[in-house]
Amino acid sequence: MMRRDDCLKALARHVTDADIVLPVYSTAFDWIDIRPHPLNYLSHGAMGLASSHGLGLALGRPDKRIIVLDGDGSLLMNLGTLVTISEVAPPNLYHFVFENGTYEANGGHPIPGRTNVDFAGFARSAGYPTVHEFSDLKIFEQQIGAVLAEPGPVFVDLKIVASGPQERDYGRLHGPQVRKAFREALTAG
């Protein structure tokens, strides 16, 4: 099992200034400290929708890599997205799920079926052409660059441990200044 912040640091080394990254909840708060950037798309409006926003961005900006950093509880709220993304098959979409088995931002309660759910299996069954699972940080660090070079849609299940307490200022995700900065950065390039 890995730590979320270690995975994010490894990922950040391979994310370019042109990439759009959509992190959710606890992952978002870690990510914006590790890699602050105006092309972080942080305002998703409702739990579970990050990958759907990502699909819209992938369709509208095929010149950019779209990297969704989903949560397991979030993905369970929108499992149909796996089917939709598989059918549309955007080659520039990379869908990560950080699997810690809990609703970490909502009290740390377990997700339903935490010992049984197979997120990579969901993605394969939905039709994702490329699916990876990582539970060892060293292997993830070695392979993440190659994963992000594969044609999408790519699904990556990261097995992580639950994190400790976290300061969560939701204005950093949902504030109007966040969306304004994103819009301006996207328009600029």
Partner 1 sequence: MQVSASVEGAALLGGSVIREIKASGIDYVVSVPDITTSEGLLRPLAQESKPRLIRVCKEDEGVGICAGLAYTGKRALLLIQQTGMLDSINAIRGVAVEYGLPICMMVGLLEKEPGVPPRQSKRYGVRIVEPILDAMGIPYHEIEADADLGKIRPAIDDAYAGSHPVVLLMGRRPA
Residues in contact with partner 1 by CB under 8 A are: 41, 43-46, 48-61, 78, 80-81, 83-84, 87-88, 174, 179, 182-183, 186
Residue with Cβ nearer partner 1 (11 or 85)? 85
Question: Residue 140, exposed/middle/buried by CB under 10 A (0-12, 13-18, 19+)?
Answer: buried
Residue with Cβ nearer partner 1 (40 or 163)? 40
Rounding to the nearest 10 degrees, give the CA dihedral for residues 30, 36, 39, 42.
40
Q: How far is the CB of 87 from partner 1 (least distance, A)?
A: 7
Q: How far is the CB of 94 from partner 1 (least distance, A)?
A: 15
Residue with Cβ nearer partner 1 (13 or 183)? 183
Q: How far is the CB of 45 from partner 1 (least distance, A)?
A: 3
Q: How far is the CB of 115 from partner 1 (least distance, A)?
A: 26
Contacts (Cβ under 8 Å, ≥6 apart) of 88 = 55, 59
H/E segment holding residue 71: strand 66-71
Residue with Cβ nearer partner 1 (9 or 61)? 61
DSSP bridge partners of 154 = 94, 130
Whole-number Å distance between alpha carbons of 169 and 172? 6
